[in-house]
Amino acid sequence: MSAQALEGRRTPLYARHEEMGARMIVFGGWVMPVEYSGIIAEHLAVREKAGLFDLSHMGELVTTGPVEAQGQFLDWALTRRVSHLAPGQIAYSPMCRHDGGIVDDVVVYRRADDFMLVVNAANTDKDREWLAELADRWSGSGRPAVGIEDISERTALLAVQGPAAQAILQPHVPDDLAPLRSFQSLVTRVAGREALVSRTGYTGEDGFELYVAPDDAVPLWDLLLETGGPQGLVPVGLGARDTLRLEARLLLYGNDIDETTNPLEAGLKWTVDFDKDDFVGRDALMRVASEGVRRRLVGFEMIDRGIPRNGYPIVAEAALADGAGDDDRAPIGHVTSGTHSPSLDRPIGLGYVAVEHASAGTVLGIDVRGRLRRARVVKGRFIAPGR
């Protein structure tokens, strides 16, 4: 299907993607590039040198009202404490429903006078409505009024990711980028254009994300590709973005987490500040913590041939034995994400399994289109950060 026939919203860089011959798909309601030169080539370029991403489909929501009240409100709305953040600091946090299910996972930027929440593209409307509802409840109990403003239409987002990212971006930024640490940001100019630049990303590599005005997206895209090309910078689509994030074991909303999962079983306990007086979902998550999770999200590498895909059943090792019965073959979980890792040259995946099968080294069976294939649970990321 041609890009023109695809139904969805367009980013400011849509025409550039078409001109560059990108293969386009609909993702999160947006027509986006999935690949330019090929997923494997783009993936390896980011691991070895650098890639340029159009992430303008992501949503940006900001809080309004007295800044102290904004922080207090977000401490209640999110599982993570963020009120202590100083301008320029960033935090990652789930946002849960009262039953502990994950509404979305967001990145919170503390700016001079407000907080900006970067949310998943497909969840922008849902998140805005959820936060507005919570803000009404918060403000209606005698506290200073806090509001939610959607600035997504006024914001474009580019990302430069990879070992050469700093060297590529630095000539265009007057501020020294070297002191900027992971999950820190600064307001500066990129090639003379106002930007919020953060040392963040979704690839497992060093890199930067650039929040700019929509009219500045195309000029900056062109400039970065022109000047970064000699250092190996290439445009990268959503296909490689997915394989990169999976190798780094970064979760994808809608696959690895959603409203049916909670942060504790998803391996995100570190993002839940139980010592806060209260937050949405605290009581439910306290019960889970007290009783213990029944399943865990695990990473696994395939031992046998076969690509694990979202939704494939997972069975216990006993199901792989000769003469296994129906009880042995009963699913103990399911795959949430899977691919062939370009960096490791082997299939990898994530999936939820019953907690007794979640230890590193445990052998599992993955039902790949009706045939059981062996896999082994691995601990941590599939590749080391900054590899």
* Ramachandran region, residue 32 (left: φ > 0; alpha: ψ -120 to 50; beta: rest): beta
Domain 59-151 sits in CATH at 3.30.70.1400
Instruction: Judge contact between 255 and 310, C-beta under 8 A.
Output: yes
- pLDDT attached to residue 322: 81
- Does the pLDDT at position 387 exceed 60? no
Identify the residue whose tokens are 């009240």: 69
pLDDT-based confidence at 329, cuts 50/70/90? confident
Q: According to the model, what pLDDT value does residue 255 have? A: 98
* Every domain of the chain and the residues it spans: 3-55+155-247, 59-151, 294-378
Res. 4: pLDDT tops 70: no
Sign of the CA dihedral running 354, 379, 336, 261: positive
Integer Cα distance of 165 and 50 in angstroms? 6
3-state secondary structure of 150: strand
Q: Could you give the 3-state DSSP secondary structure of residue 14? A: helix
pLDDT above 80 (res 5): no
Burial class (CB in 10 A: 0-12, 13-18, 19+), 211: buried
- The answer, yes or no, to whether residue 43 has pLDDT greater than 90, is yes
Predicted confidence at residue 325, as pLDDT, reads 79
Nearest C-alpha neighbor of 93 from the set 225, 269, 261: 269
100-133 residue pLDDT tens = 999 999 999 999 999 999 999 999 999 999 999 9
Q: 314 pLDDT band (50/70/90 cuts)?
A: very high
Residue 345 has pLDDT above 60, yes or no: yes
Mean pLDDT of 256-275: 98
What is the pairing mode between strands 207-212 and 30-35? unpaired
Whether 57 contacts 9, CB under 8 Å: yes
Q: What percent of the chain is modeled with pLDDT above 90?
A: 93
Q: Is residue 159 within 8 Å of 209, Cβ to Cβ?
A: yes
The percentage of the chain sitting over the pLDDT mark of 70, rounded to a whole number, equals: 98
pLDDT at 62: 98
Per-residue pLDDT averaged across 296-313, rounded?
A: 97
Find the mean pLDDT for residues 24-38: 96
Q: Return the amino acid letter for 150.
A: D
295-319 as b/e: b if 16+ CB within 10 A: bbbbbbbbeeebbbbbebbbbbbeb
State the pLDDT at residue 323.
Answer: 80
Do residues 58 and 157 touch, judged by C-beta distance below 8 A?
A: yes
Average pLDDT for 38-53: 98
Residue 385 clears pLDDT 70, i.e. is over it: no
User: What pLDDT does residue 3 have?
Assistant: 54
* 63-103 residue pLDDT tens: 999 999 999 999 999 999 999 999 999 999 999 999 999 99
- How far is residue 189's CA from residue 231's CA, in Å, rounded to a whole number? 22
Q: For the residues 142-157, what does the mean pLDDT come to?
A: 96
User: Comparing 4 with 242, which gets the higher pLDDT?
Assistant: 242
Give yes or no for a contact between 105 and 122, defined as CB atoms under 8 angstroms apart.
no
The DSSP result for 80-107, as a single string, is S--TTPPTTBEEEEEEE-TTS-EEEEEE
The mean per-residue pLDDT over the stretch 28-38 comes to: 96
Average pLDDT over residues 300-308: 97
Residue type at position 124: T
CATH fold of 3-55+155-247 reads Gyrase A; domain 2 (3.30.1360)
Average pLDDT (11-37) is 97
Banded model confidence at residue 174, pLDDT cuts 50, 70, 90: very high
pLDDT at 337 over 80: yes
Answer yes or no: is pLDDT of 171 > 80.
Answer: yes
State the Rg of the chain over Cα.
22
Task: Give dist(CA 373, CA 5) in Å, integer.
Answer: 39
pLDDT score, position 386: 55
Closest CA to 376 of 324, 332, 317, 334: 317
How high does pLDDT run on average in the chain? 96
Q: What is the pLDDT of residue 142?
A: 81
Distance CA 166, CA 171 (A): 9
* Interatomic CA distance for residues 273 and 91, integer angstroms: 13
Does the 294-378 domain belong in CATH 2.40.30.110?
yes
Question: Strands 50-54 and 59-64, how do they pair?
Answer: unpaired
Between residues 308 and 142, which one has the greater pLDDT?
A: 308
State the DSSP string of 253-303. BTTTBSTT--TTTTT-GGG--TTSS--TTHHHHHHHHHH--SEEEEEEEES
